[in-house]
Amino acid sequence: MKCVIPCAGESSRMSGVPKHLIQINGKPLLLHIVAMWKGYVDSFVFILRRTATYLWEYLPENSVIVFQDEPLGLANAILQAERCVDDKFIVNLSDCLGNGKFEDRAFDLGVGVWKTVNEEYWKSYEVQVRGDGFVGRVIEKPKNVMGYCGMGTYFLDSRIFDYIRKANLALGGGDFTQVLQDMIDANEKIAPIWFTGGYINVTHPKDLIKAEEMLRKEDFQ
């Protein structure tokens, strides 16, 4: 199984430094994400802009590189990896970092979900779970939180690519969330994959201190 890490986006809040190269505990954020998945996948697929040659030195030896040269959103970026993955694969966003583990369960499609009591994290991405145990809604920046904190980790298979191609997507945040909701509305069963440990979406400079503290906590391992 492969892990796809999209790194073609721009960072406007980190003083001009690409977000995935921000140092956390002496190591780039990107390498912390690679370390998180290294024991679970056999290789990585990185989605880069063609001009991002500065990233190549940080990538594992068995990596595959594909390009997204225009800023066409996350869904389009994931589509670029279609020829490089098998039927099942994982996507982990390049600014989403965890220290812990996902539950071990049988499923076809899944979204990483963190059972946190801290409402600060719910505000960026919410996952609502239906009575049958599957995901009912995925919501970017919810106004009234009724579910759980969604993570930037997705457990996918090749069905996702057809849904991306046929989606009527507008540029901007939330395009991939729309694709997932289209799948749910089409009766595809997407499971919440519960995560135990610490998690942070590194968005602002202030998040770096939180990320450093989270990674030091050994009880999440």
Instruction: Render the chain in DSSP notation, one character per residue.
Output: -EEEEE--S--SSSTTS-GGG-EETTEEHHHHHHHHHTTT-SEEEEEE-TT-GGGGGGS-TT-EEEE--S---HHHHHHTTGGG--SEEEEE-TTEEEEEEE-----SEEEEEE--S-HHHHTTEEEEE-TTSSEEEEEES-SS--SEEEEEEEEEETHHHHHHHH--PPSSTTHHHHHHHHHHHTT--EEEEEEEEEEEE--STTHHHHHHHHHH-GGG-
Ramachandran angles phi, psi of 179, nearest 5° = -60, -45
- How many CA atoms, within 13 angstroms, populate the side-chain half-sphere of residue 145? 17
Ranges of each domain in the chain? 2-214
Question: So what's the pLDDT on residue 13?
Answer: 55
Q: Please give the Cα distance from 3 to 37 (Å, whole number).
A: 7
Question: So what's the pLDDT on residue 221?
Answer: 44
Reading the chain (221 residues) residue by residue, the pLDDT tens digits are 999 999 987 655 556 677 888 899 999 999 999 999 998 999 999 999 988 878 888 899 889 999 998 889 999 999 999 999 999 999 999 999 999 999 998 899 999 999 876 666 656 889 999 999 999 999 988 887 788 999 999 999 999 999 999 998 876 668 999 999 999 999 999 999 999 999 999 988 888 899 999 998 765 54
pTM confidence score: 0.92
Six token digits for residue 68: 């997204």
Tell me yes or no: is domain 2-214 CATH 3.90.550.10. yes
